[in-house]
Amino acid sequence: MEYSDFDKFFCQYSLVIELTNETPLSISSGKTGFGSTDNPIIRVNNMPYIPGSSIKGVLRSETERYARTTIGDNAVCNILDPQDEKERQEKLGKQYEPCVICSIFGGPTISSHIFFSNAPLVYNSRVSVVRHVSLDRRTGAGFPSKLYDVEQIDKGAHFTLTVQLDNLEILSNDESDKRIALVIYAISRLLSGIFLGGRKSIGNGLVRGSLKEAHRYSISNNKIIQEDALDKLSRILGG
């Protein structure tokens, strides 16, 4: 399959992953708090959740590092300069192909083949407010008069994430499609543990996943075929 295979339906995978934060998790809403905290966590309908964009962003960065190590620096474009990639597309014309990372996660010239839902809270949640002291960056000493509060989800909360893969045949042994190994790495990385949110440098935000459901969809004789892929993917992903 080619990177631009959006015009046909070859296969689709739907994965349900349970996420558990093993250390306190604080993904800020970006809004000023009222009363009890200066940095409230993100919520929808007053319920905490993990944004799919946060998960996708971290996994993209981790997969970029892996691609540069295993394939080479040329495997990853400069996503921070989208105009440069568009100019390269115009210059190469039909010979153009986006970098392997963009062909998975999307980029300036191509849509994404992988989609992450927001991960709502399922159960076991306790939200705390922790007070911190601002530090003088020059001396490392604290400012007792400059206090701030951070809201966090205590460790042990559970969230449900859905990941959809379009036209990425991750159960194939096609070594010519470099995307397959990278997608397997990205999902395996999520299962083994990634850091999300704020205060990661002191260990906050460690989230691990457990693969709960996996289905593969294909078309045969004009019918959609659903297959249970949990056992096969668990062996590959280590989940």
In sequence order, the β-bridge partners of residue 206 are 195
- pLDDT 10s per residue in the chain (239 long)? 556 678 889 999 999 999 999 999 988 876 555 445 566 888 888 889 999 999 999 999 999 999 999 999 888 888 777 777 788 888 888 888 888 999 999 988 889 999 999 999 987 678 787 765 555 555 554 455 566 677 889 999 999 999 999 999 999 878 788 999 999 999 999 999 999 998 788 889 999 999 999 999 999 999 999 999 999 999 998 75
List of residues 6+ apart from 216 with CB closer than 8 A: 11, 12, 13, 171, 226, 227, 229
Question: Helices in 39-166 by DSSP H: which ranges?
Answer: 52-70, 82-92, 102-105
Question: Helices in the chain by DSSP H: which ranges?
Answer: 52-70, 82-92, 102-105, 178-192, 230-237
Can you tell me whether residue 199 is helix, strand or coil?
coil
What tokens were used for 84?
Answer: 């440069």
Q: 């998960």: which residue's tokens?
A: 55
Domains in the chain: ranges and CATH: 12-237 (3.30.70)
Question: What pTM, to 2 d.p., does this model score?
Answer: 0.85
In sequence order, the β-bridge partners of residue 123 are 158
